[in-house]
Structure 1
Amino acid sequence: MKALLCKSYGPPESLVVEEIPEPIPGDTQVRVRVHAAGVNFPDTLIIQNKYQFKPELPFAPGGECAGVVEAVGAQVKTVKPGDRVICFTGWGAFAEAVLADARALIPMPDALDFVTAAAFVMTYATSYHALKDRAALKPGEMLLVLGASGGVGLAAIEIGKALGATVIAAASSDEKLAVCKAHGADHTLNYANEDWKAQVKDITGGKGADVIYDPVGGPYSEAALRAIAWRGRLLVIGFANGEIPRIPLNLPLLKGAAIVGVFWGDYARREPMNNLMDLRTLLGWLKDGKLKPHIAGTYPLARGGEAIRQLMDRKVSGKLVITPQGA
C-alpha cells in the first residue's frame, strides 16, 4: 500500500509517497481502509519533531480519518469488516490503510460522507469541549474567537452560536472574515489593524469579551487578554503563530479572569464517556444543520505535503482533506 512518509524530520516538502507493507492488526486493533483523512495543525508539528507525540521514523502523519474496516484483531467485538468508521490514530492516517485501537473508532452515521466525516470530529469536539466544558459558555455571553477562519475557529463560531453566545470573529484578512460571517459570526474584526483591542471594547459596550478562544498564541494572546471582561475565561487551544506567549500574570489578577488549558486528545482518553456524549450532541447538531463544516479542498496522497504546507502557512479557511484512495 502507499503512504505519505516522514523519513527524516523537516518541512512538508520532505515527505515522500512510498509503498509499505499492509499493517496487520494486533488483538485489540483494527485495520481501516482510509477514504479521507483530515489535515490538522498537529500534522505540521509532528513532522518537525515539535509535537508531544514522537513516533519512530519513518512514519506517516495524519491523526484523523474516515474509512471502512478491513480486518479486526482476535479480541475486537465492537466492529466488523465492512463497517464505516471515523478513527483517531495520532499518526499514520495519510496512507491507504491504517491501524487503530478499536476503542478509538466512532461509527459513521449513514448520511455522512467520508470527506465531511474526516474533517469534523477533531475540530468540532475540541471546540465543544473548550466552550461547553472548560469555559462553561452561557447564553448571552460575548465570545471572541481568534484565528476564526481556521478549522477549529469556524467550529467555535458555530458552536458558540448554538450555545447562545454573541460571537466576535477575529482573523487576518477581509476574505477570511467573510467566511466567518457566512458561518454565523455576529461581528468581525481584522487583527491586522492595531486598534483591534479597542474594537472588542466597542463591540461589547466597554465590558470586554466573556470568553476568548485562542488557537493562535504569540502576541495575540496578551492583546486579547487585555480586552477580557471581569471573570472572563481565556481558552488556550494552541499556538498556530508558532510562539508560546509569556503572559503577565497581573492581567488575569486585575480582571478576576481565568486562563484555561484545553487538550481535547487527553480529555477523550481520560474521560471517554463524557467525550462520547459530546460527540452525540455534535452529530445531532450536524444532522439538524446547525453545524456546517467548511471543506476548503481535497488533495490526493501525492500532494499531501502541499496540503500540510497550506495549513502551516495559514492560507486555509476551514479544513483540508487528503483522499488516499485517489492517489
Structure 2
Amino acid sequence: MPDPIATLDEMRRILAMLPGPDLAAGAAAAERERRLTKPAGALGRLEAVAEWLATWQGRHPPDVRRPRTIVFAANHGVAARGVSAYPQAVTQQMMANFAAGGAAVNQICTSVDADLRVYELDLEHPTADFTTGPAMTEEGCARAMAYGMMAVEPGVDLIALGEMGIGNTTAAAALALALFGGAATDWVGPGTGVAGRALAAKTAAVAAAVAANGAAGDPFETMRRLGGYELAAIAGAVMAARLARIPVLIDGYAATAAAATLFAADPRALDHCLVGHCSAEPGHRRLLDRLGQEPLLDLGMRLGEGSGATLAIALVKAAAACHAGMATFAEAGVSGPA
C-alpha cells in the first residue's frame, strides 16, 4: 500500500476534475476517415474505435505503440464462506505464475506486444467478510485507489485493466446489486465454476452483504463496503488514466463492476474506456447494458486477469493502423464516391 494518507473525499474531488474529450483530435479523425480509400463505414466499428482513440489520447493520428496490461490482485474475506471453487491460496500462487510467464495473460500480452505489470495489494490481509459489515475501512479503500492511480505511468498509449482475487466475482455481484438494484440472482454467476449448493451460498452471501451494509447512497462508500482492494485499485487506475489522457480497455465482470462505481458517481467518468470483452459470467452483460457499453469481443471467456481486455488491444491496434496507414483517395489516385 502507498505511504501517503488518502481519503475518499480526495478521490471524489479527483473524479470531479477529470478532463473531457479532445474534440479537435476527434474531429480530425472523423475528417480523415471520410477520405480513406474505402466506402464510408466499410470498416464498421474500427472506424469509431480510431476516433475514440484519438479523442482520448488527445492527438491525431492516434497511435498504439506502447500498450500495457495492468493486473491488480487482492484477497477477499468472503472467500471463507465457500463462494469460489478454488481456495484463497490460489491468488498468491497465481502471482508466481504471472512472474514465471505461465498465465494466459502472459501469452496474450506476448501475442499483442503489450507490457504486463501485476500489482499485489496486501494479500496476507484480505478484506473483511462483508456479509457482516464493510469490506474495507475508508483509509484502506482510499489507499487502494491511490495505489491504482500510482500504477498508471507516463509514456503508455493504451491500458488494459484486469484483476486476480479469489472471491471477487462475489464482490462484483454485490457492487452491481447495490449500485443498480434488482435481486442477488440477477447478478450472481458461477465465477470460477461453482454450481448447486455452492452457487446458492454465493447468492446468499451477496444478498446478505447488501443487506448488512445498507444503502450507502454514494458510490465510493459502496466500494468501501462491498468491494475489494484490487477493485478499488482498478477504479483509481481508471481515474489516473483519464488524467494522463490514456484510453482504457476494461476486462470482465469484476473489472467492469469496479469501474461501474465511477459511472454511478458520474456517467461521463468512463467515456475514455471501452470494455474489451463480454464475459460468460451472466451478470456482465446486464452490467454492460446499464453502462451503455458494447464490448469489443464476445468469446465466452471468463478467466479474468485482464485476458479479454488484452486480447482486444489487437483490435485497437488494427483500428489505429488502418486509420493512420491507409491512403486517401487523393493520395492513391482512386476515384471517390460519386
Higher relative contact order (CA 8 A, sep 6+): 2
TM-score where L is the length of structure 2: 0.23
Higher strand proportion (structure 1 or 2): 1
TM-score where L is the length of structure 1: 0.24
